Amino acid sequence: MTDILILFLLLTMLCWDLPTDSPAALLIKPLRRPVQFLGLWHSWAMFSPEPITVHHQLSAILHFCDGSSQHWSPLRAGSAGLRTKLIYARFWKYEHSVMQPDSVPLQNELCRFLAEQAASNGQSVRAVTLFRELRRINSSNCSEVYDPLQREQLAHWKAPRQAAAAINGEHPQ
């Protein structure tokens, strides 16, 4: 049984980045969603002839009903401990999925989750703005590793009026 599992994983990994119309890629097409759900997908972009030249990170600003705001950023790799690093690897894949242009439902769910987390701490969230923070990676002969930080807005989520009223203890009309 273990041999079959190993063979299955090797076949999936080898066929993952093939063109979508190739017979091998069509063979594993039904497996794409479970593989992505389990966080087992991979990307060869780092090793390609033209490797990735931009460093992306996700961040958010929570706008509270009292007019204040708070910056949020997800777990980062520098966190200590094996368990935290394993969680980070899983979250990095989630973060990558959220930053894709076609992931508007996922972006809205993350914003809603952040608002609910703040509400559980007694804070009323009026809106959440998600950003992709990016820095271009310079060539090895430059004195600076990265260019200055740039921000691109991914989503702006507003709390539904009834939800915001319930958080504030009001009764919506």
- pLDDT for position 79: 57
Percent of the chain with pLDDT over 90: 21
- pLDDT for position 169: 52
Cα separation, 163 vs 167, whole angstroms = 6
- From 3-12, 37-46, 98-107, 159-168, the region with the lowest mean pLDDT: 159-168
- Confidence class for position 44, pLDDT limits 50, 70, 90: low
Cα–Cα nearest to 164, from 75, 61, 56, 63: 63
Question: Model pTM greater than 0.75?
Answer: no
- pLDDT for position 172: 45
Chain-wide mean pLDDT for the chain?
Answer: 80
- Confidence class for position 48, pLDDT limits 50, 70, 90: low
Cα–Cα nearest to 35, from 82, 93, 105: 93
Mean pLDDT over residues 125-142, rounded?
Answer: 86
Cα separation, 11 vs 48, whole angstroms = 20
Dump pLDDT digits (tens) for 49-103. Answer: 666 677 788 899 999 999 999 999 887 766 567 777 666 767 777 888 888 878 8
Cα separation, 118 vs 159, whole angstroms = 12
Q: Read off the tokens for 118.
A: 């703040």
- pLDDT at 173 > cutoff 50: no
Helix, strand, coil shares of the chain, percent, nearest 5, are: 45, 20, 35
- pLDDT for position 70: 93
Q: How far is the CA of 44 from the CAs of 51, 66, 85, 127, 164, in angstroms?
A: 9, 46, 21, 36, 44
Q: Read off the tokens for 121.
A: 């701490």
- pLDDT for position 50: 63
Cα separation, 44 vs 46, whole angstroms = 5
- Name the strand (E) or helix (H) holding 127: strand 125-136
